């Protein structure tokens, strides 16, 4: 039990703590955070007031990061995202290029496990060369790397949100596979997929609510929330709207509803001090939630990382006993 309590995480590009919340639910202790956005820092301070944190990863010194079993990094996606209008800068961009600052710090400290998250557009950015750069950089630092695209809707989150998760285990080529992939095979929903079975219906077309009343009506699965403001940005393809059939009124999801769609507790993205104007606050919450990691996916990954780390530490202890016995 003692080892479980002492598993620790350093969170970089913390956002509003999606990774952190997920890891805490699996018994990890958050020992460090790094985030440059002022609003997100206020949210982190509200939920983790005792955790030391830094603002600018470019100025961060590795020695200031406490020892941690795991480092997480939901590094910026703006320069590789498919939602970006125009040409994507990729890892040469000022935002997504901050990955190299993360890699610099990893190279100086070599945590046992690193976990990165980004939009699945990273896989295709510059015809896959940016993703290759990420993998090669981690490999050159001594990490065996695996990756998997996970959709939040498969983890109890009412949103179709595909993200690529990259796991690096220091000098252990079996580790990423143990963490990212289940050994058991599960049966699919055979009834719905049979030739004469019920015709499959897109979850985006399944409506929840009183269709004959005043509403509101919502889709059973929301589209991927983008990091946009409360104002119209032209990215309607990624929006989920709430109609009221009788009145004809249509609105977008509220920040409170977005918290639920992302898998955060109610009120998570509200700062403690109330220093923001209401119009500004809504915009800031939309942006922060749209950029966040969904905690249920983080919880699933962290539970598997915990099993891996505890098994590895147990093996190391046995080796030490064997060496001592031989001596």
On whether the CB atoms of residues 95 and 50 are closer than 8 A, the answer is no
Query: 24 — phi, psi (to 5°)?
Result: -60, -40
Strands annotated E in the chain:
8-12, 29-34, 53-54, 70-73, 113-119, 143-151, 162-170, 207-209, 217-219, 241-244, 249-252
- d(C-alpha 253, C-alpha 251), whole Å: 7
Which residue bears the tokens 């998760």? 165
On whether the CB atoms of residues 255 and 269 are closer than 8 A, the answer is yes
Angle CA(187)–CA(192)–CA(193) in degrees, nearest 5? Answer: 70
Which residue bears the tokens 């095979």? 185
Q: Which of 34, 77, 169, 228 is catalytic?
A: 77
The dihedral region occupied by 86, where left means phi > 0, alpha psi between -120 and 50, and beta the remainder, is left
On whether the CB atoms of residues 115 and 73 are closer than 8 A, the answer is yes
Query: 244 — phi, psi (to 5°)?
Result: -120, 100
- d(C-alpha 299, C-alpha 20), whole Å: 9
Q: Is 224 a catalytic residue?
A: no
Q: Would you please indicate which residues are annotated as catalytic (active-site) residues?
A: 77
């Amino acid at each position: 039990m003692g080892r479980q309590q002492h598993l620790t995480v350093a969170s970089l590009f913390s956002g509003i703590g999606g990774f952190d919340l997920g890891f805490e639910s699996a018994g990890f202790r958050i020992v460090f955070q790094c985030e440059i956005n002022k609003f997100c820092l206020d949210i982190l301070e509200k939920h983790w007031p005792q955790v030391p944190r830094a603002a600018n990863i470019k100025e961060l010194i590795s020695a200031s990061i406490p020892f941690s079993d795991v480092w997480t990094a939901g590094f910026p996606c703006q320069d590789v995202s498919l939602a970006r209008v125009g040409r994507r800068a990729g890892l040469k961009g000022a935002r997504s290029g901050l990955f190299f600052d993360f890699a610099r710090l990893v190279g100086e400290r070599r945590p046992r496990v690193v976990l990165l998250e980004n939009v699945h557009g990273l896989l295709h950015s510059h015809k896959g060369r940016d993703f290759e750069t990420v993998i090669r950089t981690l490999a050159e630092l001594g990490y065996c790397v695996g990756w998997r695209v996970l959709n939040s809707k498969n983890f109890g989150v009412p949103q179709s949100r595909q993200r690529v998760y990259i796991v690096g285990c220091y000098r252990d080529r079996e580790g990423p596979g143990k963490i990212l992939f289940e050994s058991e095979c599960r049966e699919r929903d055979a009834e719905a997929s049979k030739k004469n079975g019920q015709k499959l219906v897109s979850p985006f077309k399944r409506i929840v609510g009183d269709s004959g009343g005043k509403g509101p009506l919502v889709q059973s699965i929301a589209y991927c929330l983008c990091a946009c403001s409360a104002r119209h940005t032209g990215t309607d393809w990624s929006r989920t709207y709430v109609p009221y059939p009788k009145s004809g009124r249509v609105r977008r999801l509220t920040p409170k509803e977005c918290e639920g769609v992302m898998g955060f507790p109610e009120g998570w993205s509200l700062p403690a001090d109330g220093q923001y104007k209401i119009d500004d606050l809504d915009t800031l919450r939309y942006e922060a939630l749209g950029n966040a990691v969904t905690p249920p996916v983080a919880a699933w990954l962290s539970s598997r990382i915990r099993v891996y780390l505890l098994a590895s530490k147990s093996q190391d202890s046995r080796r030490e006993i064997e060496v001592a016995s031989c001596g």
